[in-house]
Structure 1
Amino acid sequence: MLQNPPQGPKFAADGLKHLADQIGDALRREKQPQLAVAPVSIDNAQPTTTSWPPHGRTGRPRVQAMLDEIMSLEGGLSNNQYDPGGLTNYGIRQQTLDAWHNLSGNPGLVGIPESVRDLTIGQARALMRKIFYDHYQLRRIKDYNVAHHIFDTLINTSTDYARDMIYGAIDDVMRRQSLYDEHHAPLTDLPSGGVGPQGKDRINWLVDHGFKTAFQDALVDRRRAHAEEQKNYDKLGGLLPRIERFRPPNHPPEGWYE
């Protein structure tokens, strides 16, 4: 059963923050010992968690299937003058990479270059997984499509705006479906960015109770609305189609576990 936090959610944006500050601040303050891995040489290798696969399950980790699709959309080196992300390679922005290097330690990854121009696709995949999927513990979101959607949202948007869209979509579904009552109160664990434990629990609850499509639609709608507010969004031809890819119906690939 979900917790019963006080009423009165707030989904107001904190204002535009530098993506590097968001990632750096979040990674400094939140610890995830269960995700720590021994340093490895990164080229084609990927970091792994210690808790998967479950006994008796076979196949690829689902994050790898998600990364396959994300990489097919991101492409290689880009410095589009209309993209607020700036210089990007395989979906990793230079400011994201700078924030990574400014942290002390960076357990689990070694050999990451200073410039995104020098990133290999294997290094970019490893960074995406570590910074977004592992850090926000997206493995705790049970449904493949929903976890993939949130993963893509975090990669494609600054983490504070991603938080507002994810929690806003939860609130949209809860209100439209009249699900708020004494047992399912609005959430109060709004993190500085991304999605927190209560948010993941509520998303799983919505999926388990038949509201997966409603949540996916609500998150697509919020992502579209945010994109259309951005200056020159119409000059980024792949942005809206990328968002709409998550509009149901969609189906996970076969052969993954977790």
Structure 2
Amino acid sequence: MIRPEPAGFLELDGVQLEYRFTGPLPEAAPTLVLLHEGLGCAAQWGPLPEALAAETGCGVLAYSRQGYGASSPVRLPRRLDFLEREAEAVLPRVLDGIGFRRGLLIGHSDGASIAALALAGGDPRIRGGALIAPHFFVEAATLAGARRARAAYEAGTLRERLARRHADVEGAFRGWNEAWLDPDRSDWDIRSTLARCGVPLLILQGAEDAYGTRAQIEAAQAFCPRDCLSVRWLPGVGHEPQRQAFPDTLAALTGFIGTILGRP
């Protein structure tokens, strides 16, 4: 176990995972763990970690999964169960590594899927989760978005932007894009696991999300225990509410967190 610094690396079996930490340490307050999107990293949450720490009194950890940001590169192709492995094999060790005692998961896109899988695992330290633009199964809109991203990457514009954040830009992009577009993964579906989410769950969904439709939210409403789930729709917002509607996203998250963990 390490004592989290404002920035550093966690080492798991020779793999280094970049992290950023703000706010009180886990022994002093609950911890919020941020799980980034499929092309994200610890640095791409913008002002959200600091704002959450200030508004909730919690510590906030953001880390880059293997293959992203300054973390160790990942061997390609990724396994088709890469989200499940992250939730079941990696995330618990990250929590142990920082001395996590209690708190919430906040995930975006792929990170939201990882959070949902982790919540279904029943770790008693995790008191709830907020899912931003989650994926619970493969749908046409997600694949279309991945194809558009591939075209932008191969044209060079997306590659240049990603290179500012990722040490191994090729691994970061190909690992995400090729996994989602792999025909053998077309039947990926974690809807049934949502029935095991026995803690409060908030979904934030942009109404104009190009990577997922209302069907993802309807799946959560069908499978999650009714007394656990709340949904917040954000009109005119796309796939990144934390950037495109920051005040509304922050308010929704802090209200949810305060209800579960109490106020500082």
TM-score by length of 1: 0.31
Rg larger for: 1
Higher helix share: 1
Higher strand share: 2
Higher relative contact order (CA 8 A, sep 6+): 1
TM-score by length of 2: 0.31
